[in-house]
Amino acid sequence: MSSKILIVAEHDGAKLNPSTARCVSCARTLSGAEVTIVVCAVDAGAVAAQAAQLAGVNRVVTIENAANAHALAAVLAPQIVAIAAPYTHLFGPSTTFGKDLMARIAGLLQAPQVSDIMAIESATRFRRPIFAGNAILTVETSADEKMVGTVRAASFEVTGAGGSAPIEKANVQVQLPTHTRFVSVSAAKTDRPDLMTAARVISGGRALGSAEGFKILYSLADKIGAAVGASRAAVDAGYAPNEMQVGQTGKIIAPELYMAVGISGAIQHLTGIKDARTIVAINKDGEAPIFEVADFGLVGDLFQVIPEIERLLS
Amino acid sequence: MKRILVGIKRVVDYNVRIRVKPDNSGVITDGVKMSINPFDEIALEEALRIKERGAAEEVIVATVGPADCQSQLRTALAMGADRALHVQADGVIEPLVAARALLKLVEREQPLLVILGKQAIDDDNGQTGQVLAALWNRPQATYASKLELTGNSARVTREVDAGLETLEVELPAVITTDLRLNEPRYVKLPDIMKAKKKPLETLTLSALGVEPRQQLKLVRFEPPPQRQKGIRVKDAAELVEALKKKGLL
Ligand SMILES: Cc1cc2nc3c(=O)[nH]c(=O)nc-3n(C[C@H](O)[C@H](O)[C@H](O)COP(=O)(O)OP(=O)(O)OC[C@H]3O[C@@H](n4cnc5c(N)ncnc54)[C@H](O)[C@@H]3O)c2cc1C
Ligand SMILES: Nc1ncnc2c1ncn2[C@@H]1O[C@H](COP(=O)(O)O)[C@@H](O)[C@H]1O
């Protein structure tokens, strides 16, 4: 039996989030699978056009509704369930959008969900990290049952462009709940690259001491075109906003270069950077666990080392 | 009565370095310290604070799992919960089964709020709250870092990838907690003694009419690939040099 995979697009109304292209890459590792992307929006045109260009996508389906102005899981889930019948697999990204939504879909379908898929071995076999990445579990679903999955973005490359999938409008008539209302979103606007997709990331820990202290990281990051991340301790202390947290309960990233500055290297933090190509650790404690995973370790005071690196690059 | 139901999952303590069994059939849990899932402690703390503010009258903690889980329920009672429900179940409890059992408790207790953790740090599934909200056909507000109750609704600030999102949900609703919602209190010794007298009711899945069905087969556990240990550089200049050589700067 061939697999039919439905991928739920993540977008902001205008632009498709790169996490969707990573879901497509994941889906394409299952040979012979037919890949459909569903775009739920008020006006899906622009996003659907971007989705249609992703290589390996067979079809794009749009569901348009004024209620889709904001991604509310309780509102989106019944619409996706309404078109779910033909599909064997329903995927979404392991982002806060996808994790919130896909499990609600799984609940409505009473279907099993495999969270954080890092590899597909067959249509029914998947690998995923558990215990903060300290074990990798292979799970098997039943072939007679739909499955829902979230795709661990850091495990897959962004699929390229070059596709030209047909776009169809789905006519979905379901009653949507009104019990959940969007109020506001506050996102710090930044010109720096997005933490999730940046090729280079510099993260700071508790050692930065203050929001002021983080400025030396921003300055170096801007010099090398890097995104800035943070440990939980730094976010908890208010030195950096929550969206910068890297780790088991923050963002899981896979940059080419990750620089951990004044971060001890707790397991929960390391979970977020396991797939980084090169890890650099700068820490004044030569025994810090971060050095166990670092490709390049430098024992020293970050307040001297970071400005020094910036100076050397000038 | 205005009640809050809090989900409590017993998990391997977050400080334990997990090891996979040599035969790949699971992870080693013998003699390993077990605790309340950290996100559930946060859920309980939030429920207790709501009660202390006078916006709820009773905090009920519930767990679905084997007999051992009662020790975590006792800890939750010592933290301040009023009573505990233990749904006895052995083996793997998937989010759908946990959610079905919690739904039965919800139907019985009629809480105005159900607060769960955003994820259990053992299976890292992050599903139960959303599945429960779907089965119950009620709102969900996941990854909460702030929760305010106003009459018949809750205003919830959520930690999302973009930053902070605020939702308004009608009650009853399911909330799942993120780390920065609060800092859980410590349990004091006299409270542990008092907790022994608080009610802890034991139920079974079958009495609730929930089938302990396992939809996912756990095929194999493996240790993660280890990263090669790298090299030490002596100063910033050597670091910059090395990164330039690799084309990273
Ligand atoms: C359920 C749960 C989930 C969690 N999720 C996450 C998560 O997603 N992400 C995360 O990061 N953490 C997470 N944590 C927290 C984690 O356990 C650690 O507490 C946290 O990562 C520590 O942050 P840190 O390394 O910045 O601070 P610390 O551990 O305090 O380390 C600071 C480091 O800075 C070094 N230092 C100090 N001064 C200097 C200086 N001048 N120059 C150079 N180095 C210096 C010190 O030697 C030390 O190694 C979680 C914890 C729990 C319980
Ligand atoms: N067996 C269980 N008993 C009680 N609560 C649970 C159980 N499983 C999950 N939960 C709740 O659901 C949350 C998310 O769990 P999970 O979906 O397994 O990551 C946990 O933090 C608990 O609050």
Percent over 90 (pLDDT), chain A = 96
Q: Is A115–B215 a contact, with Cβ atoms under 8 angstroms apart? A: no
Tokens matching residue B45: 């703390």
Helix, strand, or coil (residue B164): strand
Residue range A248-293, pLDDT digits in tens: 999 999 999 999 999 999 999 999 999 999 999 999 999 999 999 9
User: Which chain A residue has its CA at the smallest distance from B21's CA?
Assistant: A135
For residues A60 and A167, the answer to whether their CB atoms sit within 8 Å is yes
Q: Is A186–B164 a contact, with Cβ atoms under 8 angstroms apart? A: yes
| Min distance A166 CA to chain B CA atoms (Å) | 30
ipTM of this predicted structure: 0.96
Q: Where are the domains of chain B?
A: 3-222
The reply to whether B209 touches chain A by the CB within 8 Å rule is: no
For residues A102 and A19, the answer to whether their CB atoms sit within 8 Å is no
Cis bond upstream, residue B172 (ω within 30):
yes
**What average pLDDT does the segment A27-36 reach?**
96
Kindly give, in sequence order, each residue whose CB lies less than 8 Å from that of residue A156, ignoring residues fewer than 6 positions away. Answer: A22, A23, A25, A26, A29
Fold type of domain B3-222:
Rossmann fold (3.40.50)
B119 lines ligand 2 (CB under 6 A): yes
Residue range A210-221, pLDDT digits in tens: 999 999 999 999
A232 lines ligand 1 (CB under 6 A): yes
What are the pLDDT tens digits along chain B (249 aa)? 999 999 999 999 999 999 999 999 999 999 999 999 999 999 999 999 999 999 999 999 999 999 999 999 999 999 999 999 999 999 999 999 999 999 999 999 999 999 999 999 999 999 999 999 999 999 999 999 999 999 899 999 999 999 999 999 999 999 999 999 999 999 999 999 999 999 999 999 999 999 999 999 999 999 999 888 899 999 999 999 999 999 999
Tokens matching residue A257: 């270069």
Distance CA B35, CA A131 (A): 14
Helix, strand, or coil (residue B54): coil
Backbone angles phi, psi at B85, to 5 degrees: -120, 125
The pLDDT assigned to A160 comes to 87
Tokens matching residue B97: 């089964």
**What average pLDDT does the segment A27-40 reach?**
96
Backbone angles phi, psi at B207, to 5 degrees: -65, -30
Which pLDDT band holds residue A190 (cuts at 50, 70, 90)? Answer: confident
The arrangement of strands across the sheet holding B3-7 comes to A180-186, B163-170, B153-160, B140-150, B173-177, B113-117, B3-7, B58-65, B83-88, B200-204
- Note the pTM of the prediction, 2 decimals: 0.97
**Is the sign of the CA dihedral A89, A92, A93, A94 positive or negative?**
negative
How far apart are the CA of B135 and the centre of ligand 2, in A? 15
For residues A274 and B211, the answer to whether their CB atoms sit within 8 Å is no
**Strand ranges, E, within B24-66:** 34-36, 58-65
Find where tokens 């050589």 sit: B245
Which residues of B are less than 8 Å from A179 in CB distance?
138-139, 169-170, 173
- What amino acid occupies position A201? V
**Strand ranges, E, within chain A:** 4-8, 34-41, 59-64, 89-93, 113-117, 119-122, 125-130, 135-140, 147-151, 167-169, 180-186, 200-204, 227-230, 257-261, 278-283, 296-299
For chain B, the residue count is 249
Neighbours of A28 (CB within 10 A): 18
Which pLDDT band holds residue A1 (cuts at 50, 70, 90)? Answer: low
Atom of ligand 2 nearest to the CA of B120: 19
For residues A216 and A303, the answer to whether their CB atoms sit within 8 Å is yes
Distance CA B183, CA B46 (A): 9
